Amino acid sequence: MQRLNPSEIASLRHIRTCIRTNATQEQYRAFAKNIEAQNPDITILGRKAAIALAKRVTRLREHTWDMCPESCMAFVGPHANLQRCNSIRQGRRCGAARFDSKGKPRRKYTTLSILPRVRAKFASGSGSTYLHDQAEWSAQTWGTDHHHFADWPDGACHQHLREKGLFDDPRHDAFVLSTDGAQFVSKRKSNGWIVMLSSLNELHTKRFKRPETFVSCVVPGPNNPVNVDSFLWPVVQELARAAHGYWIWDGAREEWFVWRAWLVATAADQQGSSKINHMTGPTGYCGCRNCHMVANYAYEGQSVGYFPLKTVKGDKARSRDRPQQYDPYDLPLL
């Protein structure tokens, strides 16, 4: 910030405030005029210029990738050399062309790297060690009747990863990837598929709030993606590199260290989960390929089934094959 002039510093603070408060373009300009009136030596940059400055200062770079015009798949990773979409949507191969008649991609989507955010946090001295501290405290009662499960580091999965030698530095991180469809603007067809990363190194009371939520990419509509894995490829690739480590400057300790992070979980609703884990999903008669637990429907005509242990007698005809209750210790596994 020392190399920026006063107008640039004021512009960065202004755009940050406007983004956090969901200010409109008109409000951005009006508030900027008030700032300039009180400080004649200050000139607030326009919104686009301020955003460009913020990207330069934070080293935040957008990466664009070719995608199917029908939102089926992304042409990245193992699909990078395809000329047409090979996804199957509603029983038919899409076959949409990747390029137009001039050889330009017909559609693209954007991903953001989480690394600049991590670098900025540690450089400013605000890096967290919550994941390590909570796991250390939890390990004292692990395997006893006094153990309390309150968060991810209290569970068996994280304890197992620690035993394997992962998270050996208190500053190492674990991420949860969550995804879901959303409509961005009311009264307008503007749907898309949001992919977010949440750090488990933040308190559970903070990690899912806006300041700590990182949107790594948005898959534009109009249709839901068929091959979600292809869109997630750049995101997962960066986290795979993070498992090997990046050199990060820790401003609090004034030292360089190798920051590592791992993707430990994914989260989605039932329809989204079926796209990620490739199970049959909520529209299937059974929940997965390994368990013959039958879907339960809360009312007649419901297309999305659920898989509770206790059967709800909503649609009697389709609930006929379900027992009154499933035993979680004796599921009908293959």
Per-residue pLDDT tens over the stretch 55-105:
888 888 889 999 999 999 999 999 999 999 999 888 889 999 999 999 999
Query: Domain for residue 214, yes or no?
Result: yes
Domain limit, last residue, from 277, 294, 309: 277
Same domain, residue pair 52 and 200:
no
- pLDDT for position 1: 47
Residue 202, Cα to own-chain centre: how many angstroms? 15
Distances (CA, A) of 67 to 192, 295, 332: 13, 34, 40
Residue 297 domain-assigned? Answer: yes
Residues 118 and 48 in one domain: no
Residue 93 counted as domain residue: no
330 and 240 assigned to the same domain? no
Q: What are the φ and ψ backbone dihedral angles of 248, each rounded to 5 degrees? A: -130, 140
Q: Which of 260, 277, 294 is the last residue of a domain?
A: 277
Does residue 141 share a domain with residue 287? no
pLDDT of residue 318: 78
* Structural domain count, the chain: 3
Q: Are residues 236 and 127 in the same domain?
A: yes
Question: Would 118 be classed as within a structural domain?
Answer: yes
Regarding whether 137 and 29 lie in a shared domain, the answer is: no
Q: Which of 233, 278, 268, 230 lies closest to 72, judged by CA?
A: 230
Looking at the structure, do residues 262 and 152 belong to the same domain, yes or no? Answer: yes
Domain span at residue 19 reads 6-58
Domain-ending residue, one of 42, 58, 74: 58
- Return d(Cα 164, Cα 155) in angstroms, integer: 15
Same domain (yes/no): 156, 47:
no
- Say how many CA atoms lie within 13 Å of 69 toward its Cβ: 12
Question: Are 218 and 229 members of one domain?
Answer: yes
pLDDT at position 330 is: 87
This prediction has a pTM of: 0.77
The answer to whether residue 41 is domain-embedded is: yes
- The span from the CA of 309 to the CA of 29, in Å, is 56
Whether the Cβ atoms of residue 257 and residue 248 lie closer than 8 Å to each other = yes
- Residue 100's pLDDT is 95
Q: Does residue 310 share a domain with residue 186?
A: no
For residue 246, tell me if it sits in a domain. Answer: yes
Query: Domain for residue 170, yes or no?
Result: yes
- CA dist 124 to 187, 248, 250, 262, Å? 41, 12, 8, 23
Q: If DSSP states are collapsed to H, E and C, what string results for the chain?
A: CCCCCHHHHHHHHHHHHHHHCCCCHHHHHHHHHHHHHHCCCCCCCCHHHHHHHHHHHHCCCEEEEEECCCCCCECCHHHCCCCECCCEECCEECCCECECCCCCECCEEEEECCHHHHHHHHHCCCCCCHHHHHHHHHHCCCCCCCCCCCCHHHCHHHHHHHHCCCCCCCCCEEEEEEEEEEECCCCCCCEEEEEEEEECCCCCCCCCCHHHCEEEEEEECCCCCCCHHHHHHHHHHHHHHHHHCEEEEECCCCEEEEECEEEEEEECCHHHHHHHHCCCCCCCCECCCCECCECECCCCCCCCCECCCECCCCCCCCCCCCCCECCCCCCCEC
Is residue 22 domain-shared with residue 118, that is, in the same domain?
no
* 119, 163: one domain: yes
Residues of the chain with pLDDT under 70: 1-2, 185-190, 270, 279-283, 287, 289, 334
- Classify residue 179: in a domain, yes or no: yes
Closest C-alpha to 283, from 292, 293, 270 = 270
pLDDT value of position 301: 74
